[in-house]
Chains A and B, each alone.
Chain A
């Protein structure tokens, strides 16, 4: 497990990571989100003992990283940003090197090599030089190297960056399959990825944690979360708006566009509370006998939430789970 306390890294008097604290437990997949240069990679480099923190510390499986980096590194599998690999080696030679560095004996190497190679799908390129491999294969070789010793803690810096959509899905599947008994931390700037693989999301910007909660809670922060989008034919816009606004469950109604001649209206109704809007609205549609072209419940826009959290002027103000009730 990972325990991070007040982790801080200052580069040239500018804090790249500013008093970041969080714990991650086995079974959790933590998605680390943030704009470029937010401090995601720097945090990961400190967790894995590559960069010493300016202050604060990280404990990995009970080992203080600054005091005993080697013990901590034994428990960690790490895929650095860009998956750097020795270009002149073959994947097989690289995996053997990593296994030897991690003191795995021959029998275990054989067994894990087979498992891992099949898991990431690099059987076909094992004896090919790494510099001749495609980006997707390189990333997979890097992943294989990081999970070879079956680590308790897995730290993946942008594991799907530069992969095509199919490869992305494969890597996500792989991460999910390993999630049960491991602590996994991954960074990404793809928001949908957080929902696809993570049980928890942390957003950092300018080195500070601005959000820490589940992906669902993150989405719930969206202004449009739980709202209903409705296209109706043959009704006057103000009439439809008034009918919707009259519902108890509806806080307000926004007319997105209306064509008075044709009687075509697009509306968005925002919920008043936590109660779902769908039933009241469908009941209304039935009683009014509207000709509905489209009706959907918005789950909320993650991009919008991300922008709102990372670009608010008051970045010092931390948003916690409690804030999601609004």
Chain B
């Protein structure tokens, strides 16, 4: 067990160094912060709503992540395959599962850093009025979980291909399905086609349903469990794919 943690941490550290050794990190951070600001202040109308809370900020996060996280995740495995370094990595005494975990956690921490940098919005709102800080804190937690969900999907799909563009498009498409499955239009469509218990599970798979639950300020264990188990499932699938198709 200790060895597993040691190995995952070793991959984690290398990955994290990798983000800051290339422009990837800086481009991602800058774009994310600009877009988050634009969405919150212009499209979300934080000023106009006359209410000191960060709802406009958080309600756009799923859409922002839908586009940006696949861009971050697409390189995780596709680049290793493309450059052949996957052979270097997986012939070290590190198991695929440890490598998958290390890479995922590094990417998740990186998104966490990006999210932490939006603390300016929180400060602004606090300065403008008296927001419910508890709600904002849980919303940040929910956003981090949402990011983890998108990331695990992106990492898993990145393992399928050596082409980063393919990985990007696949991740956006699958991520879009996970967002859409909570929309009434989609659910009505599902109701017309599927038996009741399946409609329920389609709704249960929705990122928005679970995310909005947390953002309302209520931490429901089911919402947290949903995101954590989704991450678990996709990382497991990621490991299986890497193990089965190391050299392809």
Least CB separation from A101: chain B residue: B92
Contact call A85/B88, Cβ cutoff below 8 A: yes
> How long is the Cα–Cα vector from A76 to B88 in the complex, in angstroms?
12
- B247 touching A102 by the CB < 8 A rule? no
Interface centre among B87, B91, B247 (most CB of A within 10 A): B91
Using CB atoms, name the residue of chain A closest to B94.
Answer: A101
Interface-facing stretch out of B17-25, B134-142, B208-216: B17-25
A80 engages B21 (CB within 8 Å): no
Cβ of A22: which chain B residues have Cβ within 8 Å of it? none
* Contact call B18/A86, Cβ cutoff below 8 A: yes
Say yes or no: B93 contacts A89, CB within 8 Å: no
Q: A50-B246, A88-B22 are in contact. Are A103 and B91 (CB under 8 A)?
A: no
Residue from the list A78, A80, A86 in contact with B14, Cβ < 8 A:
A86
Is the beta-carbon distance between B18 and A89 smaller than 8 angstroms?
yes
Contact between chains at A101 and B93 (CB < 8 Å): yes
Assess the B10–A80 pair: CB atoms within 8 A: no
A89 x B95 contact (CB < 8 A): no
Size bin of chain B's contact surface: 20 to 34
**Which range holds the interface residue count of chain A?**
20 to 34
Residues A97 and B14 in contact, CB atoms below 8 Å apart:
yes
A98 in contact with B92 (CB, 8 Å): yes
| B90 contacts A by Cβ under 8 Å | yes
Is the CB of B133 closer than 8 A to any CB of chain A? Answer: no
Closest to B90 in A: A50
The answer to whether A74 touches B83, judged by C-beta atoms less than 8 angstroms apart, is no
Q: Is the beta-carbon distance between A73 and B93 smaller than 8 angstroms? A: yes
List residues 1-44 of chain B with CB under 8 A from any CB of chain A.
Answer: 3, 6-7, 10-11, 13-14, 17-18, 21-22
Tally inter-chain residue pairs, CB-CB below 8 A: 70
Which interface residue of B14, B83, B92 has the most chain A CB atoms within 10 A? B92
Query: Which chain B residue shows the least CB distance to A48?
Result: B91
Interface centre among B14, B18, B88, B247 (most CB of A within 10 A): B88
- Listed by A's residue number, 21 A-B pairs whose Cβ atoms lie within 8 Å are A50-B87, A50-B91, A50-B246, A71-B93, A73-B91, A73-B93, A76-B91, A81-B84, A84-B83, A84-B84, A86-B14, A88-B18, A89-B14, A89-B18, A89-B21, A97-B10, A101-B7, A101-B92, A101-B94, A102-B93, A145-B88
Given the complex, which residues of B lie within 8 Å of A284, measured CB to CB?
A: none
B85 within 8 A of A: yes
**Docked CA distance A76–B6 (Å):** 20
Q: How far is the CA of A275 from the CA of B247 in the complex (A)?
A: 51
Bound CA–CA A80/B246 (angstroms): 14
Does A45 lie within 8 Å of B83, measured CB to CB? no
Of A48, A50, A69, A86, the residue contacting B85 (CB under 8 A) is A86
Shortest CB–CB separation between residue A126 and chain B, in angstroms?
15
A84 and B87: CB pair below 8 A?
Answer: yes
> Which residues of B lie under 8 Å from residue A51 when comparing CB positions?
246-247
B93 pairs with A84, CB closer than 8 A: no
- For A93, what are the chain B residues with a Cβ–Cβ distance below 8 Å? 17
The reply to whether B247 and A80 form a contact with Cβ atoms under 8 Å apart is no
